[in-house]
Chains A and B, each alone.
Chain A
Amino acid sequence: SVAKRAVAEAAQHDKVPRPVGFVPPPPPCPGRIRYFDI
Chain B
Amino acid sequence: VPAAPPAPLGCDDPESEAAAEVAVNYINGHSHHGYKFALNRIEDIRVVPQGPNNDIIFLELDLLETKCPILSPTPLANCTVRSFAEHAVEGDCDVKLQKVDGILSVLASKCHSHADSREDILKVCPDCPLLASMNNTEVLETVSAALNDYNSKTTDSYLRLLEIGRAKIQYHPGHVVATEFAVGATNCSAQEAKANVGACQLLPEDQSNFGFCTAVMVKAPSQDLQVDCQLYGHQVPAPAFPCFPGYSRLLVLLQGIILSQDTS
Name A residues whose Cβ lies closer than 8 Å to a Cβ of B. Answer: 28-38
Number of A-B contacts (CB under 8 A): 50
Please state if B40 and A29 are interface contacts (CB–CB under 8 Å).
Answer: no
* Interchain CB contact (< 8 A) of A31 among B41, B64, B81, B83: B41
Q: List 11 other contacts, CB 8 Å, given A32-B12, A33-B40.
A: A28-B9, A29-B42, A29-B45, A30-B43, A31-B10, A31-B11, A34-B40, A34-B41, A36-B83, A36-B84, A38-B116
Asked if B190 CB lies within 8 Å of chain A CBs, one says no
Asked if B253 CB lies within 8 Å of chain A CBs, one says no
Please state if A32 and B116 are interface contacts (CB–CB under 8 Å).
Answer: no
Q: Which residues of B contact A36 (CB under 8 A)?
A: 40, 64, 83-84, 88
Q: Which residues of B contact A35 (CB under 8 A)?
A: 38, 40, 64, 81
Please state if A30 and B41 are interface contacts (CB–CB under 8 Å).
Answer: yes
**Number of B interface residues, CB 8 Å?**
24
Q: Which residues of B contact A38 (CB under 8 A)?
A: 64, 84, 88, 90, 116, 120
Name B residues whose Cβ lies closer than 8 Å to a Cβ of A. Answer: 8-13, 16, 38-45, 62, 64, 81, 83-84, 88, 90, 116, 120
Across the A-B interface, the 9 shortest Cβ-Cβ residue pairs: A31-B11, A28-B10, A29-B11, A31-B42, A31-B12, A38-B116, A30-B43, A29-B44, A33-B41
Complex Cα gap A23–B120 (Å): 34
Q: Which residues of B contact A34 (CB under 8 A)?
A: 38-41
Q: Within the complex, what minimum Cβ distance (angstroms) separates A2 from chain B?
A: 30
Complex Cα gap A32–B43 (Å): 9
Please state if B40 and A30 are interface contacts (CB–CB under 8 Å).
Answer: no
* Interchain CB contact (< 8 A) of A30 among B9, B38, B42, B116: B42
Beta-carbon nearest neighbor of B83 in chain A: A36
- Contact sample, A vs B, 16 pairs, CB 8 Å cutoff: A28-B9, A29-B11, A30-B43, A30-B62, A31-B10, A31-B12, A31-B16, A32-B11, A32-B12, A34-B38, A34-B39, A34-B41, A36-B40, A36-B84, A38-B88, A38-B116
Please state if A29 and B10 are interface contacts (CB–CB under 8 Å).
Answer: yes
